[in-house]
Amino acid sequence: MKLLLPETVRDALAHMAGRDGVTTPIAGGTDLLVHWPVRLGERDRTYVDLWQLQELKPLRWTADALILGGLTTYWDVIRDRRAGDEFPLLVAAARQVGAIQIQARGTWAGNIVNASPAADGVPALMAYGAVVVLESQRGTEEVPLDGFYTGYKDMRRRPDQLIVAVRIPRRRYSYQTFAKVGSRRAQSIAKVGLAVTQSDDGWRVVAASMAPTIRRCPAIERLLQQGAVLRDSDDLLPAIARDVSPIDDVRSTAEYRRRVMARVLYDELRETCGWR
Amino acid sequence: MQRREGLAKLTGRERYVDDLPLENFLWGMTVRSPAPRGRITAVRFGNDVDWSEFVIVDHRDIPGPNEILLIERDQPVLAASHVRHVHEAVLLVAHPSREMARRAAQAVEIVVVPEPAALDFRVAPRPEQIQYAADNVLKQLKIEKGDVERALAHAPVVVEGAYETGAQEHVYLETQGMIAWLEEDVLVVKGSMQCPYYVLNALQHALGRDERRVRVIQAPTGGGFGGKEEYPSTIALHAALLALKARRPVKLVYDRSEDMAATTKRHPALVRHRTGLTEDGRLLAQDIEVILDGGAYVTLSPVVLSRGIIHAAGPYACDHVRIAGRAMFSNAVPFGAFRGFGAPQTLFACERHMDVIARTLRMDPVELRRKNLIRDGQRTATGQVIQDGTDRVAVLERALALSTFEEKRRAHTAFNAAQRSKRRGIGLATFYHGAGFTGGGEVHLNSRLRVAGLPDGRIEVLSANIEMGQGTLTVFTQIAAERLGVTPDDVVIGEPDTARVPNSGPTVASRTTMVVGHLIERAVDDLRTRVGLDDRARGSVVKDAIAHWYAAHPGGRLVGEAVYEPPPGISWDEQRYQGDAYGAFAWAAYVAEVEVDLRTCATRVIDFVAVQEVGKVINPTLARGQVQGGVVQGVGWALMEECKFKDGAMVNNQLTNYLIPTSDDVPPIRVAFVENPYPHGAQGAKGLGELPIDGPAPAILNAVAAATGTEPRAIPLTPERLMDLTR
């Protein structure tokens, strides 16, 4: 294996520009190292270790956004009091990631590019309308997170691009909730994940572990926008069928995922929407 | 007293097999079968590897018979021409670099022409799937008492039910590991194990070496739970074969995924009950069928089945009982010893069935148990007269009182009426566990233990029984110190090294404290006699006498010894499966309170009470720890630990997808002991280690049944399964 240790973003981008072929950026390592002993093929890659890039670590507040750095960790957000006040779903999601050791190493940007359909951080970011800021030697590009994924583990990031920031617009939210259903109460991978927000920009309903990528649910958002009156959780099933396509896998079943998504969503939204 | 190895473990200084210093050694790696059944037609070595750097071992390198010595000799050390399960070991490679060894193992292709595999133990095999005897039955056993058919025909009420339990992974924190090297002509094998003499015997047999040329040493062992009862013989043989061929030390340590994929698990089971009762709930007849999945080799399945059927009727009095059991061959990775050893499976069925009966009779499940719990003077299914003076109803009442069972039941009715998506319930299990080997097993083991006096007046206990986290070192120290009236510092526990310690039997079957501890007491008495003292001599008198003995016998060695003797009046008929199955039973009543989320169908255990009678409790801290650990393991088995199989092999063989409870999934566990000393155990102790895994699963499922009004009959009761029941 080959490990490159840039000290500046500039150097990192130079490494990623392809001089040594395709490289894999590594930040906290919390996804990569889990499989390190068994996925021997991964040892033949070239890695760019970003951990020294101090400039990417802090999160920043501006007048109209919270900006997470490319290396901002879950723990950084948990510790930031304003984040808890203004973006409570980020904190709720961060606390659901592994245990404290993982929360202290794992980064939001890493969660995005690892592109797991079961990611904990991505649904909350997407529900807040986050924008991914990509940088390369060719310049800067911004991609809204809800348009970032194009298929299972496919995304709008070229191999030479690095996520240097994630911009979360500050809005007034009239409703927000985060729910993760795992197979035990801590340190588990989501079988169903949900993040829902309502702001002046409208409803955003984001589902995890329900499709090849984390994605918004436009049919459900439409129902909510229209103020549809539902009588029970089964009324959500047709919209769920249009929005997502869960599978049977080693963790759960498609049937369970659909029903739990309907029940949890219904139960969470019941009072706000005036349902029974 | 302080736990003997506690500080070393607490500070991370304890050295497990993977931490032991070793020089100039090779890493071993195992190449395994890709198919559940078939003929090996070729072994292909990939071109990308320089094979001259590797030591390679296959079945032709085995000096003796290609057999792992156990109950039968059907399991090869390395598959020769056929494979019977996925992950069966075929070839071994070794290299100074662990990564090179790993890459090389992946570069070997075992070509197998597939043959029809038997993959569902619950259905009768088709002719082309038969691979053992005429019907794939590994072992069949039957217990009969009275006339079941007649009693069922006349019973006013008959209740039937079928119950299933899944495989369970041991998840010892330390994975299987072994190192082997040669000292002159002596092969030394050291590693993680429960039974040094099992390993020794297996090495002697397959390597064709006598006991003077093999030596087995137990390294500090990070958990066993039965997983290190028989399996270490296999990995020890593999390490030894590589070391013998390489003429260098070899280290073979599995990583978690290999360990979970290739080693034993708890036997899956299907248990059917047909029970005859009076209208008011008195047991008239119990007809029970037990089927275990044995996997691809016999291993320990016959004795797991034996313990399973003996416990299948529960701690109840019933005049007419028939228990028919069979362990089935299947092309699965062999199932093996696991804490409880068949009893958790059959007791789950029995205790869940008791609640099904109660609901059928519209009767309180507590009252049903009060009415039927066995009383002194009554006989078990094997005809054993229970006469130990324990009040089993009092054990139950204590658990009800501690858990405030009745108050909670009333509170739950109100809670459930008021809540939209949460339901609470409380459930109970009464059960028992026989300590020590079954029937004539302890006599057959003929355990032998020595206690050596040391020149400075201290004593050293020489036994083959090992510490694996359960507290053997501490309890053995307490037993010896108490017997002689000396301090714990005056007692040394010798390293389990077959060159030094006699065969005091395996560290299994809840026998260590009760049976082996009693041998320590008798060996200590023998030592005291040898220095001319009687049983009243204690403390410095004894120490001085030992020191004087050495002064008077230069070059001599002072040793006391004891050999197992069965308690008087015990008899067992192996042919008819009748008589005294165990010298002693421990008795228990466990209560679980649960909360079920009707949206996700997730069950959370919110309170747990465990009351047991285990004779005299020697070390309350360790005993409580055993119970709490067993309950946690039971919570996992009941609710979340699910081995998912494909072609008889586990496919969720990582701790991300095979989930055990975290501390947040575990309720407060309140433990209480009722003490009734057993005259033939150390200080009056009975076996305790396995009992706590028998009760949690049925108590928890009975609580879920009470909370949701469903009748769950299979574990693990995952949210997915419960959703199917509640929809």
ipTM, two decimals, is 0.95
Q: Do A186 and B604 touch (CB under 8 A)?
A: no
Q: Which of A183, A259, A264 sits opposite B640 (nearest CB)?
A: A183
Q: Do B665 and A186 touch (CB under 8 A)?
A: yes
Please check whether residue B666 lies inside any domain of the structure.
yes
DSSP, res B220: P
Tokens of B708: 């949701």
Q: pLDDT category, A242, cuts 50, 70, 90?
A: very high
Q: Which regions of B379-447 does DSSP assign to beta strands (E)?
A: 422-435
What is the mean predicted confidence (pLDDT) over A261-276?
96
B607 and B655 housed in the same domain: yes
Please check whether residue B87 lies inside any domain of the structure.
no
Q: What pLDDT is attached to residue B651?
A: 97
Q: Which of A37, A189, A253 sits opposite B255 (nearest CB)?
A: A37
Give the whole-angstrom CA distance, residue A198 versus residue A29.
34
Please check whether residue B203 lies inside any domain of the structure.
yes
B399 and B488 housed in the same domain: no
CATH number at residue B430: 3.30.365.10
Residue B284 has pLDDT above 90, yes or no: yes
Q: Which of B257, B420, B602 sits opposite A38 (nearest CB)?
A: B257
How many angstroms away from the CA of B385 is the closest CA of chain A?
A: 44
Chain A partners of B720 at a C-beta cutoff of 8 Å? 252-253, 256
The torsion angle over the Cα atoms of residues B620, B625, B626 and B629, rounded to 10 degrees, is 160
How many angstroms away from the CA of A160 is the closest CA of chain B?
A: 30
How many angstroms away from the CA of B104 is the closest CA of chain A?
A: 11
B422 and B450 housed in the same domain: no
Continuous segment of H or E residues that includes residue B545:
helix B540-552
Q: pLDDT category, B398, cuts 50, 70, 90?
A: very high
B463 and B390 housed in the same domain: no
Closest C-alpha among B397, B526, B361 to residue B459: B526
Percent of chain A predicted with pLDDT > 70: 99
Amino acid at B248: R
**Domain A174-273 class in CATH:** alpha beta
Give the whole-angstrom CA distance, residue B63 versus residue B79.
15
Q: Which of B103, B599, B640 sits opposite A184 (nearest CB)?
A: B640
List, in order, residues 6 or more apart from B154 with CB less than 8 Å away: B276, B284
Chain B partners of A246 at a C-beta cutoff of 8 Å? none
B658 and B522 housed in the same domain: no
Q: Do B659 and A260 touch (CB under 8 A)?
A: no
Every domain of chain A and the residues it spans: 174-273
Give the whole-angstrom CA distance, residue B689 versus residue B193.
17
Interface test mutation site (partner B, options A44, A96, A185, max chain B beta carbons within 10 A): A185
Q: What pLDDT is attached to residue B647?
A: 98
The torsion angle over the Cα atoms of residues A82, A88, A92 and A97, rounded to 10 degrees, is -60
Q: Which residues pair with A169 in a beta bridge?
A: A65
Q: Do A185 and B604 touch (CB under 8 A)?
A: yes
Q: Which of B365, B381, B399 is the last residue of a domain?
A: B365
Interface test mutation site (partner A, options B720, B725, B727, max chain A beta carbons within 10 A): B720
CB pairs A-B closer than 8 Å: 60
Q: How far is CA B162 from CA B69, B114, B172, B352, in A?
A: 35, 34, 31, 10
Residue B724: closest CA among chain A residues belongs to which residue? A256
Residue B24 has pLDDT above 70, yes or no: yes
b (16+ CB within 10 A) / e for B464-485: bbbbbbbbbbbbbbbbbbbbbe
Own/partner contacts of B42-49, CB < 8 Å, gap of 24 or more, are B42/B109, B42/B111, B43/B90, B43/B91, B43/B108, B43/B109, B43/B110, B43/B111, B44/B108, B44/B109, B44/B111, B45/B107, B45/B108, B46/B107, B46/B108, B46/B109, B48/B107, B49/B103, B49/B104, B49/B107
Q: How far is CA B503 from CA B214, B481, B499, B513, B666, in A?
A: 15, 22, 10, 16, 38
Give the model confidence (pLDDT) of B406-455 as tens digits.
999 999 999 999 999 999 999 999 999 999 999 999 999 999 999 999 99
B634 and B680 housed in the same domain: yes
Q: Do A250 and B102 touch (CB under 8 A)?
A: no
Q: Which of B102, B421, B720 sits opposite A253 (nearest CB)?
A: B720
Closest C-alpha among B590, B585, B225, B165 to residue B348: B165
Chain B partners of A260 at a C-beta cutoff of 8 Å? 599-601, 719, 723
Continuous segment of H or E residues that includes residue B559:
strand B559-563
Residue A42 has pLDDT above 90, yes or no: no
Per the listing, tokens 């709008």 go with: A156
CB A270 within 8 A of CB A262: no
Residue A37 has pLDDT above 90, yes or no: no
Residue A34 has pLDDT above 90, yes or no: no
How many distinct structural domains can be found in chain B?
Answer: 3
Please check whether residue B573 lies inside any domain of the structure.
no
CB B599 within 8 A of CB B423: no
A→B contacts (Cβ < 8 Å), by residue, are 34, 37-38, 40, 43, 181, 183-189, 250-253, 255-256, 259-260, 263-264, 267
Q: pLDDT category, A40, cuts 50, 70, 90?
A: confident
B170 and B291 housed in the same domain: yes
Give the model confidence (pLDDT) of A133-166 as tens digits.
999 999 999 999 999 999 999 999 999 999 999 9
Q: pLDDT category, B83, cuts 50, 70, 90?
A: very high
Please check whether residue B304 lies inside any domain of the structure.
yes
B434 and B451 housed in the same domain: no
Give the model confidence (pLDDT) of A208-239 as tens digits.
999 999 999 999 999 999 999 999 999 999 99
Report the 3 state secondary structure along B55-114. EEECHHHCCCCCCCCCCCCCCCCCCCCEECCCCCEEEEEEECCHHHHHHHHHCEEEEEEE
Q: Do A183 and B652 touch (CB under 8 A)?
A: no
Per the listing, tokens 């054993």 go with: B384
Residue B222 has pLDDT above 80, yes or no: yes
B430 and B518 housed in the same domain: no
Q: Do A186 and B662 touch (CB under 8 A)?
A: yes
Mean pLDDT of chain B: 97
How many angstroms away from the CA of A129 is the closest CA of chain B?
A: 28
Give the model confidence (pLDDT) of B51-76 as tens digits.
999 999 999 999 999 999 999 999 99
Q: Do A267 and B644 touch (CB under 8 A)?
A: no
How many angstroms away from the CA of B7 is the closest CA of chain A?
A: 25
CB A267 within 8 A of CB A179: no
Q: What pLDDT is attached to residue B269?
A: 98
How many angstroms away from the CA of A83 is the closest CA of chain B?
A: 26
- Residue B715, judged by CB atoms within 10 A of its CB (0-12, 13-18, 19+), counts as buried
Residue A20 has pLDDT above 80, yes or no: no
Give the model confidence (pLDDT) of A74-115 as tens digits.
999 999 999 999 999 999 999 999 999 999 999 999 999 999
How many beta carbons lie within 10 A of that of residue A99, not counting itself? 10
Q: Do A264 and B644 touch (CB under 8 A)?
A: no
Please check whether residue B2 lies inside any domain of the structure.
no
Q: Which of B563, B598, B629 is the last residue of a domain?
A: B563
Q: Do A259 and B723 touch (CB under 8 A)?
A: yes
How many angstroms away from the CA of A264 is the closest CA of chain B?
A: 6
Asked if the peptide bond before residue B716 counts as cis, ω within 30 degrees of 0, the response is yes
How many beta carbons lie within 10 A of that of residue A249, not counting itself? 16
Chain B partners of A181 at a C-beta cutoff of 8 Å? 600, 602
Q: Do A250 and B665 touch (CB under 8 A)?
A: no
DSSP, res B535: T
List, in order, residues 6 or more apart from B112 with CB less than 8 Å away: B33, B34, B35, B38, B39, B40, B41, B83
B545 and B643 housed in the same domain: no
Q: Do B651 and A251 touch (CB under 8 A)?
A: no
Interface test mutation site (partner A, options B595, B600, B660, max chain A beta carbons within 10 A): B600
Q: Do B599 and A263 touch (CB under 8 A)?
A: yes
How many angstroms away from the CA of A226 is the closest CA of chain B?
A: 25
B355 and B475 housed in the same domain: no
Q: Do B644 and A256 touch (CB under 8 A)?
A: no
Q: Do B659 and A183 touch (CB under 8 A)?
A: yes
Residue B708 has pLDDT above 80, yes or no: yes
Give the model confidence (pLDDT) of B465-521 as tens digits.
999 999 999 999 999 999 999 999 999 999 999 999 999 999 999 999 999 999 999
How many angstroms away from the CA of A133 is the closest CA of chain B?
A: 31
Q: Which of A43, A187, A256 sits opposite B723 (nearest CB)?
A: A256
Residue A39 has pLDDT above 90, yes or no: no
Q: Do B657 and A251 touch (CB under 8 A)?
A: yes
B642 and B500 housed in the same domain: no
Q: Do B652 and A250 touch (CB under 8 A)?
A: yes
3 state SS of B125: coil
Q: Which of B314, B349, B365 is the last residue of a domain?
A: B365
**Which is it for strands B459-462 and B491-493: parallel, antiparallel or unpaired?**
parallel
Give the model confidence (pLDDT) of B638-694 as tens digits.
999 999 999 999 999 999 999 999 999 999 999 999 999 999 999 999 999 999 999
3 state SS of A26: strand
CB B686 within 8 A of CB B388: no
Please check whether residue B97 lies inside any domain of the structure.
no
Interface test mutation site (partner A, options B97, B102, B108, B656, max chain A beta carbons within 10 A): B656
Chain B partners of A189 at a C-beta cutoff of 8 Å? 656-657
CB A193 within 8 A of CB A209: yes
Residue A21 has pLDDT above 90, yes or no: no
b (16+ CB within 10 A) / e for B55-74: bbbbbebbeeebbbbbebeb
Structural domain of B679: 373-438+581-727
Q: Which regions of B311-389 does DSSP assign to beta strands (E)?
A: 320-329
- The backbone torsions φ and ψ at residue B683, rounded to the nearest 5 degrees and listed phi first, read 50, 15
Interface test mutation site (partner B, options A30, A31, A96, A184, max chain B beta carbons within 10 A): A184
CA A275 to chain centre: 29
Q: What pLDDT is attached to residue A54?
A: 96
Q: pLDDT category, A41, cuts 50, 70, 90?
A: confident
Q: Do A188 and B602 touch (CB under 8 A)?
A: no
Residue A264: closest CA among chain B residues belongs to which residue? B599
Q: Do A183 and B718 touch (CB under 8 A)?
A: yes
Name the percent of chain B in helix, strand, coil, to the closest 5: 35, 25, 40
Q: Which of A38, A250, A267 sits opposite B599 (nearest CB)?
A: A267
Q: Do A181 and B600 touch (CB under 8 A)?
A: yes
Q: Do A184 and B665 touch (CB under 8 A)?
A: yes
